[in-house]
Amino acid sequence: MTLSPKLIQKYNQPVPRYTSYPTVPFWEGNLNSRKWELLVRKAFQLIGEEKGLTLYIHLPFCENLCTYCGCTKRITKNHGVEDPYLEAIFREWSHYLGLFKGSPKIAGIHLGGGTPTFFSPQNLKFLISKILKSAEILPDHEFSFEGHPNNTTFEHLQKLAKLGFDRVSYGIQDFDLTVQKAIHRIQPFEKVKEATENARKLGYTSVNFDLIYGLPHQTIATLKETFDRVSELKPDRIAFYSYAHLPSAFPAQKSFESYLPNEQEKRALYEVGKEMLLAMGYEEVGMDHFALPDDPLCSAKRSGNLHRNFMGYTTSPSEMLIGLGASSISDIGLGFSQNEKKIEVYEQILKENRLPVTKGHTQTEEDQLIRKVILDLICRGKAEIPFIIWEKLPLENLNVLFEMEKEGLIFRDQRRIEVTTDGMAVVRNICALFDMRMVASKSQKVTFSKSI
C-alpha cells in the first residue's frame, strides 16, 4: 500500500527530523560553558565510565559547494586551513580529558562534514592517532567516516583502516548526470565503484551509500537507473533521504527550485526506490534507512536495541556522544550542547582555553520521558505513552491521533501506539504530536523541512 494523495497533502507539513529531543530550536539555552562542564563530569560518572564515549568530529571544509546541502560547511581550496583547525580540535579534546576521571573508553568515532576527506590522509592519521593515545578503545568499537567518492583515495581508506575504521559512508545522492549538474555534485559511477571496491579490499565491513529523493530533474525513470547502478555495487547500508528544501536558510537551493518534483511525484520516487531496495534484498531499518539482513542495524532492530542520534541510526552501546569541531553537537543523556559555528571564532575560543559552547539544554524529567517515546516510535515503531504525558496532550493533538488511527496509520490500544507500514511515512508527524516543547512554543516561528 502507498499513501493516498489526500493523506500526502494532509501530512506533508514542516516537522522536526527528531535526531534529538528537544530539537535544537526548542533548547532552553540554559547552559554556559561552566554549567556544561559540570554536566559532562556528572554524565561521565553515570554513563561514560562504564559504557564509554562516542566522538563525533566535524570537519567542515569542502572544495566545492553542493547546492542541495544543508550542512555547516566552509568552501575553500586552501588546504592551509587544515593544521590550525586540527590544533583547535586537539585543544577541545584536551579540555574534555581534564573533565573526565581517568582515561576515557572510546566506543565509537565518526568523522562528518563538510568533507572529511578534504583533509590529507596524513592529517587524518595524525588526528585520530593523537586522540586514541589518550584513551582506551573498547573491543566492540565502531569507527566510521563520511567520504566523497571523488577524493577518497586508497591512502585515506588504508590509513584509517589501520587505526580501526571499518565503516565508510559515501555521499552519492543520485547517479543521473542532469541531476548531478543541477546540485553541483558531479561524480562518475566509475569513481564510486573504485572507492567502494577499495574499501572492501582493505577489509571495511560496512559501506553505506547516501541517496536522496526529491532532487531537481529526478523522475521515476532516472531514479530506477540510479538504483540499477546501486545494485551493481550492493552497499551494506543505504540511507535514502528526503530532500529538505529550505532556501531561506540555504540560498543556493533557489538555483533549481523550479525543477523540483511536486509532493505527489516526490512520494512516488520514494515508493519506487523502496520497492527496488526490498527487491534487492534490503530490509527497512527505520525512517530513511535500509540494510542487508545480516547487517548489525537489522539485528539491532530485531532485538529492539536500535538507537538514533545526530548521526542517524546506530548500534553503539555508548549513550554519551561528545561533539568536537565547529558546530558539533554533543548529547550526553543529561543534556545537549552545540559548538560555535564560525570556524575562526571556534579556534579563538579554544586558544583562550574555553570550551566553544554557544547553546545548550539541560534535560528535565519530562524531556527524558518524551525522548524515550520518540526514540521508541522512530527506532521500534511502537511506544507506550506515559500517563503523565498522555494527560497533557492538547485536544487538538489527540484528535489528530484518533484520525491517524481511522486512516490506518497507527494501531492504538489505550496509551500504546504502534505505527503501521503506511504510518512510517509520517512517523515524524506522529512524534510531533507528543512534542511538548513544540506545543508550548506555538507562537515561535521555526523552520523545519516537510515530512514527506
Instruction: Report the CATH number that the domain containing residue 403 is assigned in CATH.
Output: 1.10.10.920
Q: What is the mean pLDDT of the chain?
A: 93
Residue 6 lies in a domain: no
Q: Are 280 and 229 in contact (CB under 8 A)?
A: no
pLDDT value at residue 137: 95
Mean pLDDT (whole number) for 330-344: 95
Q: How many helices (H) and strands (E) does the chain have?
A: 17, 19
Q: Is 249 annotated as a binding residue?
A: no
115 is annotated as contributing to ligand binding = yes
C-beta neighbour count of 82 within 10 angstroms: 19
Angle of helix 154-162 relative to helix 121-132, nearest 10 degrees, comes to 10
Q: What percent of the chain is predicted at pLDDT more than 90?
A: 81
Looking at the structure, tell me whether residues 123 and 203 fall in a common domain: yes
Q: What is the CATH number of the domain that holds 246?
A: 3.80.30.20
Residue 329 labeled ligand binder: yes
70 annotated ligand-binding residue: yes
With respect to residue 98, please indicate whether it lies within any of the assigned structural domains.
Answer: yes
Domain match, 268 and 393 both? no
Residue 412: inside a domain, yes or no?
Answer: yes
Q: Are residues 301 and 420 in the same domain?
A: no
Same domain (yes/no): 286, 399: no
Task: Kindly state whether residues 126 and 221 are assigned to the same domain.
Answer: yes
pLDDT, mean of residues 47-71? 93
**68 annotated as ligand-binding:** yes
Number of domains in the chain: 2
Q: Is residue 154 part of a domain?
A: yes
Q: Which residues of 34-64 are buried (b: 16+ CB within 10 A; e: fewer)?
A: eebbebbeebbeebbbebbbbbbbbbbbbee
Q: Are residues 282 and 378 in the same domain?
A: no
The confidence band for 1, taking pLDDT boundaries of 50, 70 and 90, is low
Quote the pLDDT of residue 388: 95
Compute the average pLDDT of residues 235-244.
95
Among 335, 356, 372, the domain-final residue is 335
User: Is 450 among the domain residues?
Assistant: no
4 domain-assigned: no
219 and 74, same structural domain?
yes
100 lies in some domain = yes
315 and 378 both lie in a single domain = no
Which of 20-34, 65-79, 88-102, 192-206 has the weakest average pLDDT?
Answer: 20-34
Kindly state whether residues 312 and 404 are assigned to the same domain. Answer: no
Instruction: Tell me what the mean pLDDT of segment 119-144 comes to.
Output: 96
Report the range of poorest mean pLDDT among 98-112, 218-232, 305-319: 305-319
User: What residue type is 259 in one-letter code?
Assistant: Y
* Residue 128 annotated in ligand binding: no
196 is in an annotated binding site: no
Q: Do 182 and 304 reside in the same domain of the chain?
A: yes
Please report, in angstroms and rounded to a whole number, the separation of the first and last CA atoms in the chain.
Answer: 16
Whether 48 has a binding-site annotation, put simply, is no
Residue 146 assigned ligand-binding role:
yes
> Residues 165-168: contacts with CB within 8 Å, 24+ apart?
165/109, 165/128, 165/204, 166/203, 166/204, 166/205, 166/206, 167/142, 167/143, 167/204, 167/205, 167/206, 167/207, 167/208, 168/144, 168/199, 168/204, 168/206, 168/207, 168/208
333 in a labelled binding site: no
Domain end (from 319, 335, 351): 335
User: What pLDDT is recorded for position 14?
Assistant: 87
Supply the range of the domain harboring residue 426. 364-440
Query: 244 a known binding residue?
Result: yes
- H-helix or E-strand spanning residue 212: strand 206-213
102 has binding-site annotation: no
pLDDT at res. 445 = 65
Per-residue pLDDT, 419: 95
185 among annotated binding-site residues: yes
